[in-house]
Structure formats: C-alpha cells, structure tokens
Amino acid sequence: MAFRFVPRVLNQTRGYASQAAVRPPVQLEGIAGKYASAAYVSALKRSDKDLAKVESDLKYFNDILKGQSAEAAKLRTFLNNPTLSGEARSKAVSDILGMQKGGSDALTRNLFEALAENGRLNLSEKVIEGFLQLTSAHRGEVIITITSAKPLDKSITSRLESTLKSSQFATTNGAKSVKFDYKVNASLQGGLSVDLGDRSVDLSVANRVNKLNALLRGMYTLSRLVLTPFRIGAKEAWVTGQTGSSVMQINLVCTTALASYALWLWLPRKAQSSLIWEYVVLVVPLTLACTILAESVYLLLGSMLLVTLGLWASRDANASGASSATTTGRPRWAFLTVYRAYLLILTIYCILAVDFPIFPRIFAKCETFGTSLMDLGVGSFVFSQGTVSLRKHTTSFWTTLKRCAPMLLLGLTRVALVKGTEYPEHVTEYGVHWNFFITMGLLLPVTDYVQLMCPQWHWGVVGIVISLLHEYALRGTSLGAWAISEHRDHSNWLSLNKEGITSLPGYCALAFLGLDMASILFHDTSLWAKQKRMLLRSVLAWSLFSFLSLSSWDVSRRMANLMYVLWCTAFNATFLCGFASLSAWLGADHPPPRLLTQVNRHGLLLFLLANIATGLVNLSMQTMYASTWSSLLILHVYMACVCAWSPTLLGTPRRL
C-alpha cells in the first residue's frame, strides 16, 4: 500500500529528473518507514526549503496529535477508527493542516491523503517519527532520547545536556549537532534511561525491579507475596497486542490433520486397532505443527505423504485398513466425526500451548484485527456445533435448557474462579464478566427456537443476512468504535462486557452457516452430492473473502465481523469437504478411529477437563519461562491424559 503514495508525490518532481538520485540517509523498516522515506525523497528532490516546510507541517500536526487535551484524545481515536471512511478521516486531517499559519505544503497534504486512501492513518505517528528521524540524519544531528517516569525540571535537563554533549556517548558518532528528545513513561517508576541509536543506559527503578525479580524467581514464598502482581502483568502483556499470521500458514498447519487421517486410513489393520498408534498418527503431528515445526510444515507434510505413499505401495488386501475396512459403527458420518474431533483436539491443545514459549506468538489470538490459529479455533467451534444442531422434530423447552444450561453454568463458574484466583485474564477477548462458554450457552437456544418458528428457512441465507446487518452496524454506527475503544465504564455492565456483546451476532451468523452445512449432510442422499455443495460454498466464501481482503477489509475476531465469518466459513467448508473426499477415496464404508469417535462424542466433557487442567498447570508453574523440552513434555503429557479419558468413556451411555 505504501507504494501507492510514491507516484502521487513524484508527480510534483518531474522537473527534477536530471538531478542525482536521492536516497534516505537511514533505512527505515515497516510500512510506516516506506511512507516516511517516500515523503522525504520527494521533498528533498524539490529543495531543502521544501523539506523544511514539510518537516514543519508534520511537527505541527504531531504536536496536536500528542497533546493532552480531550480534543487530542478524540483525534487519536478518530484516526484509529477503521469503521470510518478514508474520505472522512482525510477531511479531518486537511482541516487541521489548514489551521496552520501560512498553510501546509502540497506534499504534506498528499502524504495524508495517501494514508487515508490506503486505510493507514493509524500509522500517522510512526510516519511522522520516521520522517523526523530522516531529516535529523540529513542535517547530521544525533538524537539522544531521555525517558523518565515524570517530566524533568529545567535545571536537571540542562545538566544532563551539558554532560552528555561532552561525553564519549555522543561525540563518537561524528555528529554535527546533538538534539535531545524527552519522553515520559510512568512504568519506569523512577530514575531514567538514555538511548542513542542501538546503545542504551537504563538507570530506572523498573530495571532494578526486573533484576530483583530474576533473582527471586525461584523463591516460591516471595514470588507469591511480592512478585505475583508483576508476573500477572508480564503474562497479560505476553498474550496481548498480537497481530497474527497469514491465512496460508494457518491452512498449512491445519492440513496436517488431513495428512494424518490419510496416513491412518492406510495403516495395517493391527496398527489401527491400537490406541497408542492412533495417538501417535492422529494427534502428535498436529501438535508438532503448532509448535516446534511451525516453520517447517512443508517438511512435515512431505514426510507424511512419503510414508502414506509407501504404505499404499506395499498394501496388503489382508492387512491394510483402507482396503479391508469393516462396516461396524456408522461409517456414513465418518468424515463429520473426524472433522469435529480434530477441531476439538486442536482447540484443547492450543488453550494450554499458547501459554508456553514454543507456541509461536503469531498463532495466539489477535488483539483487534488479524488472523491467527486460535482466532480460527473459536469460530470453527461455533460452526462445527451448528453442523450437529439441525432439528428434525420440535424441541421442547426442557430439552433446549438441558443443552444450554451446562454451557452457561461453566461460563459463570469460570468467571468466579478467574476472579477468585490470581489467574491472568485478557479482558479484550470477551470482556470482564464474559467468556466463550456464555456465548455458546446463548447461541444454542437461538438456533433451536429459530428452527422451531421458521423450519423452512434457508439457513445459509439467514447467516449471511445476520452478518451483513452486523457489519453495517459496526461500520455505519459507533458500535465498532465503541467495541474496540480502550475506554471501559466500570459502572456500566454493557461497557465492561462490550466485546462479548458486540461479537454475539457474528457468532450467531456462524452458527446458522453451520446449520446450512448440516442441511447438506442430512438432506443430500449421495456423498458426491454433499461434496459438490460443500465445495461450492467453500469457493464462494473464499472468493468473497479474497475480494474484500484486496479492498482493505480486515478480519476481527474481537468483533466477529463479516470478514471473520467468511474466513471461518470458508475454512470449515473446505476442511469438511477434504475429510469427506478422503473418506470417499480411501476409506469408503470405513468407521472413524475409536479415539476420534470418543473425542467427538464427549467433546464438551473433555473440553471442560482440558480447561481445568490448563488452569492447574498455569497456577502451578510459570509456563512462559519453560524450556523447549520441558514445554514439549508437559504438553504431550497433558494431551495424552485428555485423550486417555476418551477410551474410559466408551461405556458411558450419555453425553454431557
């Protein structure tokens, strides 16, 4: 996107084509750096006077943006609001620049217009910072940044400047002049830190506290009495502010599940009857793909493919599971069982793995916008629940209550336990008193009663209409800005739980789209007809998702917006179709693995046990400091214990 700005600013410098090429004195990184570099080059090609004018414009805007007034805070919120049109944000910036004495330079206006058109006005501060860094380097200035816990007196700053200007700290860079940039960071608690380029001297109280924390980390009693608040803050900081990974990488990791199932279908019959082999083949590859092999998924998938081809080449009609399948169980729904079980396994593994350092941070839940593995897991859980929520007969009130009461009870219990213990919580996921169990507990009666009142409706259309209306509310009203704002009114229950409330319509849309998939599974007679309709929905969802992505629409699990609904629908339709294809081509009339059957049947109970185990592990150790091997050991013991519960439930007549 940054490169769209380059043709715009260069249009004003065509008369200077004969001049020597201008290069930025410092190489800046990131998208903001590209905008800053393009603006610097264009201004300098015109003249040093024009460069100084653009610098003056940006300093004027930066002073307003960083002000402490209520208007400055509103301006920051306004620029960071993705639900407003680029035209509206661009007009506001133009009005501010127009108030400057003498007006603003055309290059300055072009820069902000390009940022607005590309949806990058939220990067304004970083772009201005980068531009000022380039102009300082152009003048041969060295900037020394001094950060303190509170503003410093003039007497202190003058002594600091006098000392630092004559010190080796500043003179070794051959600078023509030295400038000082003073910042305030209350988290330093006292003292100050001095930064010059890649060198830093940290004399803050916070730094001393951190060193003390490291010394006391192994002392359990003191860690409970003194360090617990610091550790909770560190844990919350570790899981917040994530921006996610690419959709392609997430799809590759999840493709491991398809490869594992294909490999299992060609295992010898004796190996298929072993629960240990089921765990090794069906569970372990997916867990490795989510952690230590996340950057080598291609190698993992290639290795599994080679093993599968080897088993296929050496198949024996009397020993190969795929060629001598039995017809026990309900093979007609084998692919649906496998699909739902894998989603549960992935969810159960990730809720604990995310607390360990071997779990890539790009797979953790995104703060506001972005795509990640855990974000996908939440929506997929709702979608998969919809695939088994189709009601052929009237559902009584008590039946519906029995289905949703456990979820609501679990949700309320989790809130009480989190508030009553020292367990870190990330309130921007759902809110202060809300969680995923409450969302699911409210969705179940909605899908039941809508089916009761309107049994002939097309559920796919219902889901899309709900998501479109929800998206309109997010973009066309202040709902979207309210949901993602940092302000939270502690006297207002709705404000405290705005994320959970705002995202509820999006999850409702996903539930109805899951019902649409269920109608395909239950009403179409042949597997081939099911596959065609699932593939059609997959192609439509991916196409619309890709088109909107190119139009700069972002995915937000926090709001469960239209892009999030389309992404989850496209993914689940694709992978459900993939499991159906494997069942049709390799395992026709083959019953699903016993382990996956029981995981699917008792998913809610296993999910509850997994949440309890996750809480116990986090309360008993500092997971974020665990080594690679200890992390792997703990996670596999945890998964083995959860999966071991499945065979013990074989004789259980009822599900939770």
Kindly report, residue by residue over 446-461, the tens digit of the pLDDT.
888 888 777 777 888 9
What span, in angstroms and rounded, lies between the C-alpha atoms of 121 and 438? Answer: 36
Range from 257-266, 304-313, 382-391, 426-435 carrying the lowest mean pLDDT: 426-435
DSSP lists the bridge partners of residue 315 as none
pLDDT of residue 251: 93
Cα angle value 380/344/496 (rounded, 5°): 60
pLDDT of residue 502: 92
Structure tokens at 249: 């990488």
Model confidence over 398-442: pLDDT tens digits?
Answer: 777 777 777 788 788 877 777 666 566 667 778 888 888 888 888
pLDDT over 50 at 327, yes or no: no
pLDDT band at 222 (very low <50, low <70, confident <90, very high): very low
Model confidence over 288-310: pLDDT tens digits?
Answer: 999 999 989 999 999 999 998 88
Q: What percent of the chain has pLDDT over 90?
A: 22
The mean per-residue pLDDT over the stretch 377-398 comes to 78
Query: Which distant-in-sequence residues (6+ apart) come within 8 Å of 351 by Cβ?
Result: 610, 611, 614
Q: What percent of the chain has pLDDT over 70?
A: 73
Alpha carbon distances (Å) from 212 to 205, 222, 250, 552, 648: 11, 11, 39, 46, 47
DSSP secondary structure of 316-363: -TTTBTTTS----S-GGGHHHHHHHHHHHHHHHHHHHHTTSTTS-GGG
Range from 65-74, 204-213, 602-611 carrying the lowest mean pLDDT: 204-213
pLDDT over 70 at 101, yes or no: no
Are 545 and 570 spatial neighbours (Cβ–Cβ below 8 Å)?
A: yes
pLDDT band at 480 (very low <50, low <70, confident <90, very high): confident
pLDDT of residue 220: 42
- Report DSSP state, residue 192: E
Q: Helix (H, G, I), strand (E, B), or coil: what is residue 221? A: helix
pLDDT of residue 108: 77
Model confidence over 32-83: pLDDT tens digits?
Answer: 878 888 888 888 888 878 788 888 877 877 777 777 676 666 767 777 776 6
pLDDT band at 4 (very low <50, low <70, confident <90, very high): very low
